[in-house]
Structure 1
Amino acid sequence: MKNHEKNERINMVIQELGLAKVADSKVGTQFTRGVSGGERKRTSIGMELITDPSILFLDEPTTGLDSSTANAVLLLLKRMSKQGRTIIFSIHQPRYSIFKLFDSLTLLASGKLMFHGPAQEALGYFASAGHHCEPYNNPADFFLDVINGDSSAVVLNREIEDGEVKEMEEPSKRDKPLIEKLAEFYVNSAFFRETKVELDQLSGGQKQKKKSTAFKEITYATSFCHQLRWVSKRSFKNLLGNPQASIAQVIVTVILGLVVGAIFYDLKSDPTGIQNRAGVLFFLTTNQCFSSVTAVELFVVEKKIFMHEYISGYYRVSSYFFGKLLSDLLPMRMIPSVIFTCITYFLLGLKPKAEAFFVMMFSLIMVAYAASSMALAIAAGQSVVSIATLLMTISFVFMMMFSGLLVNLTTVVPWLSWLQYLSIPRYGYAALQHNEFLGLDFCPGLNVTANDTCSFAT
C-alpha cells in the first residue's frame, strides 16, 4: 500500500471508533496521564482493525466504555462482519441493542458448554429447558442469571405452595447440579448435534492433509529492512515521548563524571599515580557494566506486546530485536559513554594524546555494548524485572572479581581460572591499562638500566 492509502485507512478507523479528538494525543502509561480508559480500549481495537484481518479475536472490547460508545463499537464490528470477516469476542452484560447484533452465541459455565447456536434462538432453547424470560428483561442478563442459578426465572419455575416460593437452597448446593443439568440438556439438543456434524466434517478434512501443513509459517507483507525501520522509529519515538529515563541517565553520568574527576583530579606520574590510575580505570570499567543493568527492562516490559504483534505477523523476531537494540545502544549506551569519557579524561589528566582519548572512549563504549547485550540475553528469558536484575548483578560481581585488579589471575586455581575469559570487565580493563600505561615514565630523573629497577615503598 502507498502512504496516502495507509493514512486514509488510519483516518477511517479513527473516525469510526470516535477517536478524532484524541488522534494526536499520547496513550499514556501508569505514571503519565494520557487518554481515558475507554479511548485506550478503542485504540487497542483500532490496532487490530488497521490490518484488516479476516478473523478478529477480541477480549471484552466494551469494558470501560459507556453504553453508547459500546454500541457504536459493536455496530462497527457488525459492519465488518458483513464484509466477510469472522469476529469472535467475549463480553459481559451487553445491553439489548448490542445483543441483537449477535449472530452466534456461546454460553460457558465452569468450563462446560451451556449453549452454542444462533443467538436469536437462545430464548426459545432456554424456554424448552423450563426457563422463561420475564417480560422487559434483557436476554443477556437472563442467560447469565439462569446459569448462575439465582435469577427470578429459576425461582418462577420452582414449585409454589400456598402462594409462597419455597425456601431457596444454598448456592453451593444448587450451582453444580444446575450447571450439570443445563450441560446435559444441551448435549441432547439439536444444536449440539448440528455442531457435532460440522466439527466432524472439519476434522475429517484436516486428517486428509499432511501433518506438515498443519503448522504454516507466518508470512510477512513487508521486508526485513522495512520492519526494522518502523520498529526502530517507534522505539525512538517512545524514548522521546518519555525522556525521563534517558535524561536521568545523562544527568547521573555528568554528576558521576564530575565526582570521579574531583576525586582523582590531575593524576601524577609517581607511585600514587600508578595506584590511582589502576583504581580509576577499574572503576570506569565496572561502572559501564553496572550502568547497563537498566537494559533488562527493554524486553521484559514489552514482552506481552511483542508476543501479540509477532503472532499477528506484524514483524520478524530479528527485526524487533535489532530495532530495539538500535534504540537502546545508541542513545542509552553510546551517548552516556561519550559524555563520561569527555568529562573524566581531561579532569584526570590522562595521557595527553588524541589517539589515547579515542581509544579509551571506544573501549568504554564496547564494554557498555557487551554488558547491555548480556543484559538483553538474560532479560529475554525472564518475565520479572527483579529476577533479571538480580541475575545480572550476580554475574557482574563474579566478572568484577576476575577483572584482574582484585585478584592476581595467575594465582587462581586451574579449575576456576577459565572464568576470567568470560569476564567482560577484564577485557575492558586490560585495554584501558594498555592504552594509558604504555609509554608513560613513572621514574622521572632516574637512568634505569637493565640491571636496575624502579621500585616504590608501600
Structure 2
Amino acid sequence: MEVHNGEGMELALATSANITNEDTCVEVDIEEEYTFPAKDGPLPIFLKFEDVEYKVRVVSKNLMKAAMVSVASHLRMEQGSYKKILKGISGSVGPGEILALMGPSGSGKTTLLKTLGGRLGGDIKGHISYNDTPYSPSLKRRIGFVTQDDVLFPQLTVEETLVFAALLRLPTNMSKQQKHSRVDAIIKELNLERCRHTKIGGAFVKGISGGERKRTSIGYEILVDPSLLLLDEPTSGLDSTSASKLLMILQNLAKTGRTIILTIHQPSSRMFYMFDKLLLISEGHPIYHGKARDSIQYFSSLGFLPEIAMNPAEFLLDLATGHVEDINIPETLRCSLNPEEFSMQVIKFLQRKYKTEVEPEDKKENQQASKAPKHLRLAIQMKKNWTMNWLDQFVVLSRRTIRERSKDYLDKLRLAQAIGVAILLGLLWWKSKIGTEAQLRDQIGLIFYICIFWTSSSLFGAVYVFPFEKLYLIKERKADMYRLSAYYASSTLCDLVVNIFYPIIFMVILYFMADFRKTVSCFCLTVFAILLIVVTSQGTGELLGAAILGIKRAGVMASLVLMLFLLTGGYYVQHIPKFIRWLKYISFMHYGFRLLLKVQYSGDLMYNCQSKGGCQSLQTSPSFDTIDLNSGLQEVLILLAMALAYRLLAYFCLYRRISITSF
C-alpha cells in the first residue's frame, strides 16, 4: 500500500525499501519491517473504512398525533422509525496524510469523524480497521480528538491546562521535569508563548482568543503523541490568516508520522490545497474521495465547470448541495432536469457517478494494498496501562480542582454572606433566653433556621458541580486520562475540606451573640452538628447532580427535595400522619435538627421558673413532645451513614451516566 502526502512523500510497505522525505532530505532504510517513524514517535496507523452506515432512532414528539393512535401502534411506529445519517461511505488515510471531510451542514461529517474515532455508539454497519485490525479499547489512548467547541477549564491558564494534562497522560517513566519540558516544547511549537500565563476564559471570564483556544485544544491532545488525530471544525470561528496558520501546524504534525482527519466547512483556496485527501459528502452519501488536488478535474470530467472564478471549496459545496447557478452542468443532465427537483437531480447524479465509477476502484485498491506489518497490528492491540497509580491521579486532580475552583472557594461574596447572615441573626436573637415557653420557642426557631440556611447553601452549592463539569469529564474519560473514582474522590474532598470553614466562622459569630450554652463541649458539639448537616447536604446535592447531569433539572429537583426536607424537619409539623410519616426518616434535616436540640437542651435544664407551678424541666415543654433530649446522640451515626450512602449512590450514578457517553 502506498501513502502519499502533499509534499510528494511516498511510504512503501515492503520487505526492503527506502523512505525519502523531500523536506528534510533524510533517508531511512527499512529492512524486513516497517519502522517509520522513529521509535520515540507515534505508532503509525493506517485507517481504512468501507461501506460505513449509521442510523439513529427518530422519536416522534407530536403529542396530538400520538393521542390519535393507540399505545400499541405508537410503539410499533417508534420501533421502526430510523433515520440514516451515513449511507455507505468508504475511504482510507495513512501516516503523513491529512484527510479533509467536507460537505454542507447536516451531511454527516461529524458523525463519520466520531465513528472513525470510536466515539459513537449505536447501529453502526460497515468495516473500519486500524492497521488491519478492528477498533478496540486499547486504541483510546492512541487517538486524539479535538471537538468543535473547545472544552477547557476557563479558570486555568494555558500552561496550567497543558501541565495538568501532561501529569495525567504522559507515562510514569518520565520525570516531572521531562513532562514540563514537553509542555514547553508544545507551547513553542503551537506559538502559545505570548499567552501561556493567561487564563483560558469563557462566557464570564476574560481569556485568550479563539485561535489560541483552538491551538491549546490541539496541544492538549498532541501532548501524548497520538497516532490518529481527529479534529471537528478546527477553523470554525477563526479568520483566514489564523485558520491557515493552524493548518500549517497540522501539516507539520502530519509530517511526524501522524494520521490526521478533520472536518471543515468552507476553507480558503490556500487551505484547500494543503489537504492530501478529500472526502466530499452529500446527504450522507460520498460523491468524491481521492486527492484534494484532483477533485476539480474529476468533476470537470463529469461536465461540471465553474462559469466564474470560484474558490475550489465553494465550487465543491455548491455541487454537494445541488446549487449550480454559476456552474455548467452536463448536457444529458440538463435535458432531463425537472425545475422543481433541480438540486436533488444534481445530487443524485453525482452520487450515482461516484458509486459506479469511483467507489469500485477505491475498494479494489484497498483490497490489493499490502497489509500492515505484523508488529504494527500487534502493537495497536496492546492496551496502554494507566500512566499514574490511583493515589497520584488523586493528588494531581485535587491540585487541579483547587486551582480551577479557587474563585468559588475564596469567594468574597460568599464569605460576606456567611458573616452578614450570622451578624443579622445574632442581632435578631441577641442574648436570647429560654426562661419562658415563648422565649424557648424563639430560640428553637433560630436553630431550625440555621439548619435551613446551611442545608440550602450546601445543597445548591453541590448540585451544580457535576452538571457544570459534565463536558470536561466526558472528554477526559473518553481519553482514559484517569479513573472516575479518583476524580470523584478529589472533587468531593476538595469541596468538603474547603467548605467547612464557612460554617465555623458563621457559628463563632452567632453562637455567643445568641447566648447559646456557654460550655466548650456544647460549642464544639454544635459546630460538629452543623458540619454534619453540611456534609450530608453536599452528598445529597452531589447525588441529585450526578443522577440528572442537567443544570436546570438538577436545580428544580434540588428545590423540591429541600422543600420536602424542610417540611418534615420537625419544626413546622411534629405529629405527622402515620401514612406519610416515613418521609421524615429519609430527611437528614429531621435528624440534624434533633441533634442540635439535644446538644443545646440535654441535661437537667429548667425553664418557666416564674410560673405558679415553679421551675419545670425542659423535657416537659410541648416543643419536645417527640424528642427525648437525653436519649443519646444516635442521630450522629444516622447522619454519617446518610452522608456516606448519598456519596456512594452519587458515584454509581455518575459512573453509569458517564459510561453511557464514554465508549
Q: TM-score, normalised by structure 1?
A: 0.86
Aligned to 2:504: 338
Aligned to 2:394: 228
Task: Judge conservation of contact 1:219–1:313 (CA < 8 Å) in 2.
Answer: no
Separation in structure 2 between the aligned mates of residue 226 and residue 19 of structure 1, nearest angstrom:
28
Q: Does 1:347 align with 2:523?
A: no
Aligned to 1:183: 351
User: Which of 526, 529, 537 in structure 2 is aligned with 1:360?
Assistant: 526
Separation in structure 2 between the aligned mates of residue 4 and residue 428 of structure 1, nearest angstrom:
49
Aligned to 1:314: 481
Contiguous gaps of at least 5 residues in structure 2: 1-173, 371-380, 624-663
Q: Does 1:94 align with 2:267?
A: yes
Aligned to 1:56: 229
| Letter of the 2:516 counterpart | L
| Letter of the 1:334 counterpart | I
Separation in structure 2 between the aligned mates of residue 456 and residue 367 of structure 1, nearest angstrom:
25
SS in structure 1 opposite 2:278? strand
CA apart distance, 1:446: 8.4
User: Which of 577, 597, 601 in structure 2 is aligned with 1:412?
Assistant: 577
User: Which of 202, 223, 247 in structure 2 is aligned with 1:29?
Assistant: 202
CA apart distance, 1:66: 3.0
Cα distance, 1:457–1:234 mapped onto 2, change above 3 Å: closer
CA apart distance, 1:243: 4.5
Q: Does 1:257 align with 2:422?
A: yes
| Letter of the 1:142 counterpart | F
Cα distance, 1:191–1:276 mapped onto 2, change above 3 Å: same
Task: Judge conservation of contact 1:117–1:191 (CA < 8 Å) in 2.
Answer: no
Task: Judge conservation of contact 2:448–2:593 (CA < 8 Å) in 1.
Answer: yes
Aligned to 1:38: 211
Q: Does 1:371 align with 2:532?
A: no
| Letter of the 1:95 counterpart | S
CA apart distance, 1:225: 1.6
| Letter of the 1:178 counterpart | V
CA apart distance, 1:147: 1.8
CA apart distance, 1:61: 1.0
Cα distance, 1:302–1:36 mapped onto 2, change above 3 Å: same
| Letter of the 2:491 counterpart | K
Task: Judge conservation of contact 1:41–1:64 (CA < 8 Å) in 2.
Answer: no
SS in structure 1 opposite 2:606? coil
- Of residues 387-396 and 101-110 in structure 1, the stretch that sits farther from structure 2 once superposed is 101-110
| Letter of the 1:177 counterpart | Q
- Of residues 249-258 and 319-328 in structure 1, the stretch that sits farther from structure 2 once superposed is 319-328
Separation in structure 2 between the aligned mates of residue 407 and residue 197 of structure 1, nearest angstrom:
79
| Letter of the 2:473 counterpart | F
Q: Does 1:297 align with 2:464?
A: yes
Q: Does 1:443 align with 2:607?
A: yes
Separation in structure 2 between the aligned mates of residue 245 and residue 124 of structure 1, nearest angstrom:
62
Task: Judge conservation of contact 1:22–1:35 (CA < 8 Å) in 2.
Answer: yes
Separation in structure 2 between the aligned mates of residue 139 and residue 145 of structure 1, nearest angstrom:
10
Q: Does 1:386 align with 2:564?
A: no
CA apart distance, 1:452: 8.0
Separation in structure 1 between the aligned mates of residue 236 and residue 405 of structure 2, nearest angstrom:
29
Task: Judge conservation of contact 1:297–1:385 (CA < 8 Å) in 2.
Answer: yes
Aligned to 1:108: 281
CA apart distance, 1:421: 1.5
Which structure has more relative contact order (CA 8 Å, sep 6+)? It is 2
| Letter of the 2:544 counterpart | I
Separation in structure 1 between the aligned mates of residue 511 and residue 584 of structure 2, nearest angstrom:
27
Task: Judge conservation of contact 1:146–1:153 (CA < 8 Å) in 2.
Answer: no
CA apart distance, 1:93: 2.1
- Identity among equivalent positions (%) equals 26
| Letter of the 1:57 counterpart | L
| Letter of the 1:173 counterpart | E
| Letter of the 1:438 counterpart | S
Q: Does 1:142 align with 2:308?
A: no
CA apart distance, 1:442: 2.7
Separation in structure 1 between the aligned mates of residue 616 and residue 393 of structure 2, nearest angstrom:
65
CA apart distance, 1:101: 2.5
- Of residues 299-308 and 64-73 in structure 1, the stretch that sits farther from structure 2 once superposed is 64-73
Task: Judge conservation of contact 1:133–1:139 (CA < 8 Å) in 2.
Answer: no
User: Which of 410, 426, 429 in structure 1 is aligned with 2:590?
Assistant: 426
| Letter of the 1:182 counterpart | L
Write the deviation string for residues 309-358 of structure 1: whole angstroms up to 9, x where unpaired: 11011111111111221232222x31211111111111111111111111
SS in structure 2 opposite 1:302? helix
Task: Judge conservation of contact 2:418–2:502 (CA < 8 Å) in 1.
Answer: yes
Separation in structure 1 between the aligned mates of residue 456 and residue 237 of structure 2, nearest angstrom:
42
CA apart distance, 1:73: 1.9
Aligned to 1:207: none
Separation in structure 1 between the aligned mates of residue 364 and residue 352 of structure 2, nearest angstrom:
15
SS in structure 2 opposite 1:114? strand
Matches within 5 A, 1:74-93: 74-93=247-266
Q: How many residues align?
A: 437
Which has more helix, going by share of residues? 1
CA apart distance, 1:158: 5.7
Task: Judge conservation of contact 1:264–1:348 (CA < 8 Å) in 2.
Answer: yes
CA RMSD of aligned residues (A): 3.4
SS in structure 2 opposite 1:435? helix
Separation in structure 1 between the aligned mates of residue 310 and residue 357 of structure 2, nearest angstrom:
25
Separation in structure 2 between the aligned mates of residue 337 and residue 285 of structure 1, nearest angstrom:
11
